[in-house]
Amino acid sequence: MKKDCETCGNSFDAKRRTAKYCSGKCRVQAQRGSTGTTSTVVAFGIVPQLPAEPEPERRAGPLETAAFQELDAVSRAETLAGGVVLALARRIDQAGPDDTGSSFAALTKELRAALAAAVAGAEQDDEIDRARKQMEAKRRGRAG
């Protein structure tokens, strides 16, 4: 009965139905090779089901880092207003400097106001507006 050797692929005359190799050499070779077989996972096509990652590791962008440092300097990083500032900074970082759309400008403006509000200790949204005015006033009469 003609069979193909599982090691070298040559067809050989098998004396037994279960024969798989043309020679003892090929059988030994096959057995040696089997020590380095693929893992059970690969062999059975089982992909381990990992729990969904909560969030991929994210590095703070330059603006977010700067905003955090500024907030941290006045111990405002952990406040609600501080969180708003960081969220805005993150969005601007993600948009990047290539985004020259009006939304980017609006975000930047919002960020500045939010930062001023956070630093001033404001914790309400309508404080942002006041802070913006304060900042404008400060800029106009910057003496010290």
Instruction: Give the residue with the Cβ less far from Zn ion, 28 or 42.
Output: 28
Instruction: Give the residue with the Cβ less far from Zn ion, 5 or 63.
Output: 5
Contacts to Zn ion by CB under 5 A: 5, 7-8, 22, 26
Q: How far apart are CB 4 and Zn ion at their closest, in Å?
A: 9
Instruction: Give the residue with the Cβ less far from Zn ion, 10 or 69.
Output: 10
Q: How far apart are CB 9 and Zn ion at their closest, in Å?
A: 7
Q: How far apart are CB 18 and Zn ion at their closest, in Å?
A: 15
DSSP the chain: -EEE-TTT--EEE-SSTT---SSHHHHHHHHHHHTTPPPHHHHTTPPP-PPPPSS---PPPHHHHHHHHHHHHTT-TTSHHHHHHHHHHHHHHHH-TT--SHHHHHHHHHHHHHHHHHHHT--SHHHHHHHHHHHHHHHHT---
